[in-house]
Amino acid sequence: MTEPTTARLLIIGPPGAGKGTQAGLIAERYGVPAISTGDIFRANIKGGTELGKQVQTIIEQGELVPDELTNEIVADRLSQADAAAGFLLDGYPRTVDQVHALDAMLGGSSLDAVVLLEADADEVVNRLLKRAALEGRADDTEEVIRHRQDVYSAQTAPLIDLFSKRGILVSVDGLGTVDEVADRIASGLSAQLGAKVGQ
């Protein structure tokens, strides 16, 4: 089922909360592209591009890529035709400055809803360690994982309050099966966007 509305969406939550999986499902439901800055960076690292070389060490250390560079990549991606009718951002914005940059890119027509995927810190570290074993991600050693959680708490968690004040935050419990979490997100988003489930 595809929701009939146009939607500018964001999914936010600690590393390992399952954002990537849910992002794909939300994007499918709303018929919009899922845009993950982490995926864009990883593809560039894999492809050995100039951008990939610039960001590789930063990502391996679990630090954030500088706002200026990240903002430029997102502006470029959002200017592509498939994002005109809406999008689901995953992993961006991640700092207050990036929120302001995105506001400027969207020219006053801000995000419609922000899904906050809530997850317990110990649980997400365990999930990430499992994923590291399965996918062999270079940014997923235990030390780096813990550092990424700290970076999230310091730089990204403040966005929760910001979006809550804007009245667009949809908080969802991220624990459970993929389907259970997807159902919670779907009903939370439907309520927030005013769309009728089942249409």
User: Does residue 77 have an active-site annotation?
Assistant: no
Residue 37 is a binding residue for ligand AMP (CB under 6 A): yes
Please tell me the distance from the alpha carbon of residue 90 to that of residue 34, in angstroms, as a whole number. Answer: 7
Nearer to ligand AMP, 6 or 155 (CB): 155
Please tell me the distance from the alpha carbon of residue 33 to that of residue 124, in angstroms, as a whole number. Answer: 26
Q: Spell out the residues 6+ positions from residue 51 whose beta carbon is closer than 8 angstroms to its own.
A: 41, 44, 69, 73
Please tell me the distance from the alpha carbon of residue 185 to that of residue 188, in angstroms, as a whole number. Answer: 5
CA distances from 15 to 119, 124, 140, 145 (A): 9, 7, 10, 8
Residue of 26, 65, 78, 113 interacting with ligand AMP (CB under 6 A)? 65
Please tell me the distance from the alpha carbon of residue 74 to that of residue 93, in angstroms, as a whole number. Answer: 9
Residue 184 is a binding residue for ligand AMP (CB under 6 A): no
For ligand AMP, which stretch binds (CB under 6 A), given 1-9, 59-67, 114-122, 125-133? 59-67
Residue 70 is a binding residue for ligand AMP (CB under 6 A): yes
Q: Which residue in the list 8, 42, 77, 94 is annotated as catalytic?
A: 94
Residue 59 is a binding residue for ligand AMP (CB under 6 A): yes
Residue of 13, 14, 18, 62 interacting with ligand AMP (CB under 6 A)? 62
Least distance in Å: CB of 15 to ligand AMP?
Answer: 5
DSSP 172-194: EE--S-HHHHHHHHHHHHHHHHT
- What 8-state DSSP symbol labels residue 91? S
User: Does residue 19 have an active-site annotation?
Assistant: yes
| Catalytic residue positions, numbered | 19, 94, 131, 137, 148
Q: Rule CB under 6 A: which residues touch ligand AMP?
A: 15, 37-38, 41, 58-59, 62-65, 70, 91-92, 94, 98, 139, 148
